[in-house]
């Protein structure tokens, strides 16, 4: 996948996002703590070095706590309208406040900005690191964080992986195919909720499908279950080399696997797969009526 990025500091209206996030933050902080946060944001915006940024970023969790923020429908739409695909639903308050502080880092001088953010990554403890990765979509110079994102995928820290994988549009927009495939594979290996990976279906590719089928074979050989969501990334690539795998799950005693086989065949233009779907008209009809899809398959 070829990634093209406009030569801009930000790809969205950063000032508008500041306003929306500050309005949300005011709902959760005491007046004193909000004034403290506002003062720190002003200092961060004016400084040439990263002293205030480093100090305030580390101190935020002590000032805000870990309450999970709640958004109504209009607030969700506001955020998405500014930065499509970006979601702060389910974020802890400290993550929201740290992201707001990050929006105030002066981005006019590119090298200085990148060095400041890189410094945070290098010195972050676990929760701070997760907050930074969750904030990837809001950073200036978005193309500069691809290697940092790929590095995070190699982490074995659960909350860091979830910050990158869950409801985060950055990986699907900026990672190359190899790094993207690594992210998806890591999600299956670590049993993450792949439904929350932004762009999962849009970035399905033959290399990923082949690797996932090999992974399924390894699981079967070890008499271990295979996540049925794996097959959603295979449907567009069914051919004579793997149709037997689809036939296998289509004949399973497990209803979930049979549903996965039907959905996978529905995605395919390969004639034997289409014929396999015709053998289960009740499942085909559920798919056509959108009563059965990859989101509700486990219901």
The continuous run of DSSP H or E covering 15 comes out as helix 14-26
Backbone dihedral angles phi then psi of residue 122, each to the nearest 5 degrees: -70, -30
Tell me how far apart the alpha carbons of residues 68 and 91 are, in angstroms, rounded to a whole number: 6
CA atoms within 13 Å, Cβ hemisphere of 240: 0
pLDDT tens digits for range 26-57: 999 999 999 999 999 999 999 999 999 999 99
pLDDT of residue 65: 85
Minimal CA–CA distance to 67: which of 48, 83, 91?
91
pLDDT tens digits for range 198-257: 999 999 999 999 999 999 999 999 999 999 999 999 999 999 999 999 999 999 999 999
pLDDT of 1 above 70? no
Name the residue ranges covered by the structural domains of the chain. Answer: 14-196, 206-288
pLDDT of residue 141: 96
Burial of 2 (0-12, 13-18, 19+ CB in 10 A): exposed
The confidence band for 291, taking pLDDT boundaries of 50, 70 and 90, is: very high
Say what the pTM is.
0.92
pLDDT of 4 above 80? no
Tell me how far apart the alpha carbons of residues 65 and 27 are, in angstroms, rounded to a whole number: 14
Distance of CA 247 to the CA centre of its chain: 31
Query: Are 131 and 163 in contact, with CB atoms under 8 Å apart?
Result: yes
Query: Are 100 and 69 in contact, with CB atoms under 8 Å apart?
Result: no
The confidence band for 298, taking pLDDT boundaries of 50, 70 and 90, is: confident
């Amino acid at each position: 996948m070829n990634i093209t990025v406009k030569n801009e500091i930000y790809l969205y209206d950063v000032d508008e996002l500041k306003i929306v996030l500050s309005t949300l933050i005011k709902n959760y902080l005491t007046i004193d703590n909000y004034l403290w946060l506002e003062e720190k944001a002003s200092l961060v915006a004016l400084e040439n070095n990263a002293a205030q940024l480093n100090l305030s970023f580390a101190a935020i969790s002590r000032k805000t706590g870990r309450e999970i923020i709640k958004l109504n429908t209009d607030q969700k739409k506001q955020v998405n309208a500014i930065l499509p695909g970006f979601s702060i639903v389910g974020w802890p308050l400290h993550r929201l406040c740290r992201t707001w502080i990050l929006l105030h880092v002066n981005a006019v001088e590119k090298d200085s900005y990148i060095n400041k953010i890189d410094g945070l990554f290098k010195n972050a403890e676990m929760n701070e690191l997760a907050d930074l990765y969750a904030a990837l979509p809001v950073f200036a110079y978005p193309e500069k964080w691809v290697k940092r994102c790929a590095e995070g995928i190699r982490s074995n820290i659960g909350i860091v992986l979830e910050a990158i994988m869950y409801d985060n549009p950055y990986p699907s927009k900026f990672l190359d195919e190899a790094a993207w495939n690594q992210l998806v594979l890591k999600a299956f290996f670590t049993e993450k909720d792949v439904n929350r990976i932004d762009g999962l279906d849009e970035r399905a590719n033959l290399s990923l499908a082949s690797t996932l089928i090999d992974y399924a074979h390894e699981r079967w050989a070890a008499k271990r279950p295979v996540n049925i969501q794996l097959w959603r990334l295979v449907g567009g690539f069914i051919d004579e080399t793997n149709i037997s795998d689809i036939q296998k799950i289509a004949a399973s005693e497990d209803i979930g696997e049979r549903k996965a086989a039907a959905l996978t065949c529905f995605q395919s233009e390969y004639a034997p797969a289409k014929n396999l779907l015709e053998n289960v008209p009740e499942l085909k009809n559920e798919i056509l009526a959108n009563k059965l899809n990859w989101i509700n398959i486990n219901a």
